[in-house]
Structure 1
Amino acid sequence: MTEPKEPSASQLGLSDMSPAEFREAAHRVADLVADYLEGIESRSVLPPIAPGDVRRSLPQEPPRSPEALDAILADYLSLIEPNLTHWQHPGFMAYFCSVASGPGILGEWIAASLNSNVMFWRVAPAATELEQTVVGWLRILLGLPDAFDGMFMDTASMSTLTSVLAARHVLPGLDARDEGLAGRPGIGRLRLYCSTETHSSIEKAAIAAGAGRAGVRKIPVDADYRMRADLLETAIAEDRAAGWWPFCAVATLGTTSSTSVDPVGAIAAICEREGIWLHVDAAYGGSAALVPEMRPMFAGWERADSIVVNPHKWMFTPFDASLLLFRRPEAFRDAFRIVPEYLKTPEGETARNFNEYGIQLGRRFRALKVWMHLRWFGGDGMARRIREHCRQARDLASWIDADPDWERLAPVPFSTVCLRRRPAALRGREDEPDVARRLDASNEAILDRVNRTGRVLLSHTKLRGRYTLRVTLGNPRAREEHVRMCWELLQKAARGDGAETRG
């Protein structure tokens, strides 16, 4: 073990870390990261700690004097790394996997060293044009027409908010950008449409846009949790008659709970007839369009006004990286462009200034890690991995279907499986209140037992009021053996709780 070093001359002076110091430190950090990834499976996915444990182990007073890198890294290895939930672990099967590939990590590292603020072309020319290029590459790989332009955002929440505000801006006669909404007589209430399965970020966008949660009308879904397009059309007619101002509809390709796929073609046709902006939330499912044979389920999304796909969800790009695509870039620019004197540059209209297309002025150089990742794997390589995850999910679904004591609660269009333990003895009695409560409690206990093993981490949701376990497969490090292990852990956890089998 290396003896701790004293603070260096650069730490004690007025300069930054010297190039020689940085080189030495970077080699150490590279080894630290490589060791972490190499040994990831030896760790518990979920750390056995309670809220407040880490904070109590950290000094409450800030450091006043420089500390040696040895001490900093030692504390990281003892206090931080062991107490993280390990998203890179092949047993992480909760929520939607967000996995960082090796080339993506390297791209993130290089981008941090450049510290480019990609707000407008003059201050980040290569970064701006690389972003334009990579956005174009992804559009092609997703099979979308060249009518779409776009940019990188941090998350789907921001991509959706930006799109909803652009949708509000194009409403004729509203002019919320300049006039606002508060205190204006004669302004109808804004109405946004989505399904009952839509992500909560849609409601947050409606709040920020001034529609409020009351302005969100949730359309019922069919047996497979897909929006009922016929009921959307009825709702729009009812709202217009009642004085509402319909302005935006959101179709989801891969809902958060069940990964259902809304009938985007039918929804697009309604939006076109009604003059309503269509935003497609494909944050998770959109990556599957990299697989040519899976594209038919996306038919119609090319008619959307805006689309969000998150490379950090299922394209194995380090968090954060959200791709926002739009057909009408002028709607975004008109909604957000404000150029005070201190931001004016001589390039004028010849250059792309991304800050004019959204809320944020400062923007990270996200395109670099996506560029490196795409070049390393290639579009075909990414498609192979997504195809494999879908195969793994189908295998798990088949094991569930073959076991009379378990049931699937939703179709499996992508790589997420929704299931619960329902003993064969209780088939047909699921809706009895007492049985329903016992089934919910039993499955909650199963989830807790499985997660406490540390070998996998699963999450849950509720589908039609039923406590539902979710298994999401999306880690390129996960192999069939990990999927089998997950299924065996679920069965073992169920055998440890026989309460739900009693009649």
Structure 2
Amino acid sequence: MDQNTKDAIPNQIEDMQAEIHHLLPWLIHHGMDDPQGLLRFACPDPSDPIQGQLTSKSAAETKDLAVPEDSMPIRDVINEFYSITRSRVLTHHPKFFSFIPSTMLPISWLADIVVSAANPHLGGRLAGSSCNLVEENLMTWFITKIGFPVDDAVGLSVSGGSMANFMALTAARDEHIRGVENHSRAVIYVSEHTHFSISKTARVLGFSPDQVREIPGLQPDVLAYVIRNDKKAGLVPMAVVTTLGSTVSGKIDPIPEVAEVSREHNIWLHIDGAYGSSIILSPSHHELARGIEKANSVTWDAHKWLFSSYGCGMLFVRNKTSLMRSFSAHSDFLDGSGREAEAEFWDLGLELTRPARAIRLWFILRVLGSHQIGRMIDRGIDMAKEFETRFRSLKDWSVLSPAQMAILIVRFQPEGKDETDIDGLNQRIADDALEKNIAAVQIVRFDGHSCLRMCVINPRLASTDPESIVNAMADIAIDSLS
């Protein structure tokens, strides 16, 4: 590289910065072919399409755009990005009820912009400084809500529930399984509602499928019986994984009773509350998290029910030393960098370069306040019950799983139709509701049937929507019989 080229690069970056300065007003107010610009992008109108179609033509164009060889004007790339994102599902659309919808609010988008502009490094105190202090104290605040001992417990932000579950079971393994000879004898106990990330974690940690035992409903007496028999057989009970709000039905395992069994047998109790832990902040329904304070570890996703954008999860562990045993490591690169004797965040998890997820969450909570967050959570639960009431009033509709944690499962099952036909009718209702932009509902298998599942947590859902959406779905059901 010649000297002129070397000198030109900083000047080019300065030119880019100036261009961005002029582009920002356009981007916010008029960009992306929309009069409301990015605000509309981050907060879609109920009339906006829930799903864009990826045609063969748009797929080919997207593949061409994915090759980043030549320099392009920033405005052109922004418009390219907009064309790419036309062909997607808006999971933060107020009428998207599939999976666990994104509850991202405009303030979440603003938090992303502000925090990413500062680009803080939260691996350790040397680089993170005051930002690390905010994460530490924010996590302590959550710890008090869970009910863990403040002096011993620790929390940290992670990418999401799957990573939190992985780290928790790694800590459980390292605490209860000593020696290679015990590894093949370890047992993890789960229910039929357990998230698939647990079985994936078990596989990554070197456990075979038969070392993950499914106990229906995690019935405490059955669990205790199985544990006793496993011990007699020379096996090593390692962990029990309970679910606080399953992604299918909102089901909550009997956490207080399972906690007693775990305590009696000295087994690590992990609560996967990726979805449901937020109920702790609900002023009306916080008792649904009863027993969470007895866990060894808790998973909590802010991007599910704390209104953050994606990539913001948390892990809480009763005893900080459990994570340090599994993840702390010495390095010539780090040990000479002025690090303190006290644990750094990089000692508590896999990541060294940690993005400022917790600062994004702090920003949201600081603006909204935990009381408003709690009211928004309560509203989602109330709206799901309103949907349930309206479905129950319809002929030929059944509620297979009542509204739990803002999730309900219904099924259209008219008389005179066999199971195969009814499954097809429910699939058609889901397809037509999406095509007509009424709602995105999810087809799931529940109790052996194809059913319609709805997760109703988007705070932008209008109070009149349960009536209009249920009536529209009922009309589709009637039309499907003709």
* TM-score with structure 2 setting the length: 0.91
Deviation at 1:453, TM superposition (A): 1.6
Residue aligning to 1:114? 118
Deviation at 1:422, TM superposition (A): 1.7
| Inter-CA distance 301–61: structure 2 relative to 1 (3 Å threshold) | closer
Kept in 1: contact 2:50–2:96 (CA 8 A): yes
Deviation at 1:169, TM superposition (A): 0.3
Amino acid at match of 1:126: S
| Inter-CA distance 124–90: structure 2 relative to 1 (3 Å threshold) | same
Match of residue 26, structure 2, among 25, 28, 42: 28
Residue aligning to 2:258? 267
User: What does 1:397-416 align with in structure 2 at a 5 Å threshold?
Assistant: 397-416=388-407
Could you give the per-residue CA deviations for residues 242-273 of structure 1, whole angstroms, max 9, x where no partner exists? 33221011010101111111110000000011
Q: Does 1:149 align with 2:147?
A: no
Kept in 2: contact 1:143–1:289 (CA 8 A): no
Shifted more, 288-297 versus 53-62: the winner is 53-62
Residue aligning to 1:168? 173
Kept in 1: contact 2:215–2:222 (CA 8 A): yes
Amino acid at match of 1:201: S
Q: Does 1:196 align with 2:192?
A: yes
Residue aligning to 1:430? none
Distance 2:122 2:66 in 1: 35
Could you give the per-residue CA deviations for residues 296-336 of structure 1, whole angstroms, max 9, x where no partner exists? 22211100000011111011111111121110110110111
Kept in 1: contact 2:188–2:240 (CA 8 A): yes
Identity of aligned residues (%): 22
Shifted more, 268-277 versus 25-34: the winner is 25-34
Q: Does 1:486 align with 2:482?
A: no
* RMSD (Å) for aligned C-alpha atoms: 2.3
Distance 1:466 1:382 in 2: 35
Amino acid at match of 2:93: H
Match of residue 395, structure 1, among 383, 386, 392: 386
Secondary structure in 2 matching 1:480: coil
Kept in 2: contact 1:260–1:411 (CA 8 A): no
Residue aligning to 1:256? 247
Match of residue 418, structure 1, among 400, 409, 415: 409
Q: Does 1:347 align with 2:339?
A: yes
Residue aligning to 2:4? none
Amino acid at match of 2:464: E
Q: Does 1:47 align with 2:52?
A: yes
Deviation at 1:117, TM superposition (A): 2.6
Residue aligning to 1:429? none
Deviation at 1:51, TM superposition (A): 7.2
Kept in 1: contact 2:146–2:293 (CA 8 A): no
Amino acid at match of 2:197: S
Structure 1, unpaired ranges of 5+: 1-8, 175-180, 222-226, 427-433
Q: Does 1:458 align with 2:441?
A: yes
Deviation at 1:469, TM superposition (A): 1.0
Shifted more, 144-153 versus 391-400: the winner is 144-153
Kept in 1: contact 2:255–2:291 (CA 8 A): yes
Could you give the per-residue CA deviations for residues 48-99 of structure 1, whole angstroms, max 9, x where no partner exists? 335784344442683444221232222233x223222112211111111112
| Inter-CA distance 337–51: structure 2 relative to 1 (3 Å threshold) | farther
Match of residue 75, structure 1, among 72, 80, 83: 80
Amino acid at match of 2:86: P
Kept in 2: contact 1:160–1:201 (CA 8 A): yes
| Inter-CA distance 132–52: structure 2 relative to 1 (3 Å threshold) | farther
Distance 2:391 2:476 in 1: 15
| Inter-CA distance 56–22: structure 2 relative to 1 (3 Å threshold) | closer
Give the number of aligned pairs.
467
Amino acid at match of 2:169: V
Residue aligning to 1:294? 285
Q: Does 1:215 align with 2:211?
A: yes
Kept in 2: contact 1:189–1:211 (CA 8 A): no
Distance 1:457 1:50 in 2: 20
Distance 1:299 1:39 in 2: 36
Distance 2:370 2:209 in 1: 39
| Inter-CA distance 38–269: structure 2 relative to 1 (3 Å threshold) | closer
Residue aligning to 2:131? 127
Could you give the per-residue CA deviations for residues 452-485 of structure 1, whole angstroms, max 9, x where no partner exists? 2223211122122111211111111111223223
User: What does 1:368-383 align with in structure 2 at a 5 Å threshold?
Assistant: 368-383=359-374
Shifted more, 459-468 versus 300-309: the winner is 459-468
Deviation at 1:403, TM superposition (A): 2.1
Could you give the per-residue CA deviations for residues 212-241 of structure 1, whole angstroms, max 9, x where no partner exists? 3221111112xxxxx322211122122222
* TM-score with structure 1 setting the length: 0.87
Residue aligning to 1:315? 306
Shifted more, 31-40 versus 401-410: the winner is 31-40
| Inter-CA distance 421–187: structure 2 relative to 1 (3 Å threshold) | closer
Shifted more, 264-273 versus 137-146: the winner is 137-146
Amino acid at match of 1:302: E
Amino acid at match of 2:72: E
Secondary structure in 2 matching 1:134: helix
Kept in 2: contact 1:11–1:66 (CA 8 A): no
Distance 2:245 2:43 in 1: 32
Could you give the per-residue CA deviations for residues 3-62 of structure 1, whole angstroms, max 9, x where no partner exists? xxxxxx988955355543232223333332123246533321011335784344442683
Residue aligning to 2:429? 446
Amino acid at match of 2:274: A
Distance 1:280 1:359 in 2: 20
Match of residue 458, structure 2, among 475, 493, 496: 475
Residue aligning to 2:357? 366
| Inter-CA distance 189–16: structure 2 relative to 1 (3 Å threshold) | farther
Amino acid at match of 1:305: N
Deviation at 1:391, TM superposition (A): 0.8
Kept in 1: contact 2:111–2:363 (CA 8 A): yes
Structure 2, unpaired ranges of 5+: 1-6, 30-36
